[in-house]
Amino acid sequence: MQEDFQEDKARALVRYSDKVAHYAQAGLEGARNTQRAYQADIRHYYEWCQLQGLTAFPVDAEVLAVYVTHLADECKWATIQRRMAALRKWHELKNEEFPARSRQVQAVLEGIRRVKGIRQKQAPAFSLDEFRPLIQSFDPENVIELRDKVVLLLGFTGAFRRSELVALNIEDLSFSRQGLIITLTQSKTNQYGEIEQKAFFYHPDPLLCPIRTLEEWLALRPAQGPLLVRFRKGKTHGEVRLTEERLSDKSVDNLVKHYLGTEYSAHSLRASFVTAAKLNGADDMEVMQQTKHRTSAMIQRYTRTDDIRKFNAGKKLGL
């Protein structure tokens, strides 16, 4: 009986081996955006090793310490962390030991933290006094400006990450008399396809209304496919035509800088939503319904109230 059990077990292992390998690989590799970022970081490390005449893989502790030292001269702390994570992932996939915890590497990392600091530069938030007149100024008859208005207004009122925004399809939108629901099937914090939804509401000013603006844009679009798409130049001078090519997340970043200023980024749309909502009395749970953050700590991190003169209890002492 024991022999029969072992034979059945062996057959089951063979039968499911390919599926086990497939799911294990997917679990180790992570999301596609993460894979692309890691591939770029690994390529950066490999090319650096080639220039130095060093063996790249598997990573040696001494080589890693030198590489991290090199990064400290040109990169932010967040970039160093990401490149370390990419190299760690490579070793996990190859079932190799990653020497990040060696004393030499840890000493170098601690030294970088002490000398250069680890504070990240955050995307600034814009004020509603800046944003409102900009949105009202767009020409609805200009198809490019209409598309750009959708990007900015939807990105702000939906607190979207740029990757989420460009991934939207027309089929994700559900209109009703109460407003609009947009369904996301995947995001940075939702890697397993759980259904997430964001709610949008009618604004009394049609020029500031995300729903009416979307309806104007959808009148130019087919019934399905990417929501936000690129334009191409037409045959005649000044002519542009809509394509079915999905807008890139880099284009969203460039668009924000073009209209709001180079100090801002696509992430400013999300940070500005959180800041405006909090300053207007929204509690953390209400904000998290739209941002899909998991903790209140992240909401506090996103709230840009670091102007010590504007946001200071010293003005409320009652003296």
Alpha-carbon span 147 to 158, nearest angstrom: 16
The answer to whether the beta carbons of residues 87 and 59 sit under 8 Å apart is yes
Q: What angle do CA 228, 231, 235 make, to 5 degrees?
A: 160
Catalytic residue among 67, 259, 264, 302: 302
> Is 161 an annotated catalytic residue?
yes
Alpha-carbon span 282 to 276, nearest angstrom: 9
Catalytic residue among 161, 162, 278, 292: 161
Q: Phi and psi of 194, rounded to 5°?
A: -65, 145
Alpha-carbon span 145 to 147, nearest angstrom: 5
> Is 230 an annotated catalytic residue?
no
Say whether 197 sits in a helix, a strand or coil.
Answer: strand
> Is 36 an annotated catalytic residue?
no
The answer to whether the beta carbons of residues 202 and 212 sit under 8 Å apart is yes
> Is 177 an annotated catalytic residue?
no
> Is 302 an annotated catalytic residue?
yes
Catalytic residue among 83, 149, 198, 270: 270
Alpha-carbon span 89 to 38, nearest angstrom: 8
Catalytic residue among 83, 162, 293, 304: 293
Type of residue found at 295: T
Say whether 15 sits in a helix, a strand or coil.
Answer: helix
Which tokens belong to 241?
Answer: 């035509």
Q: How far is CA 153 from the centre of its chain?
A: 17
Catalytic residue among 83, 267, 292, 304: 267
Catalytic residue among 188, 233, 241, 258: 188
Active site residues: 161, 188, 267, 270, 293, 302
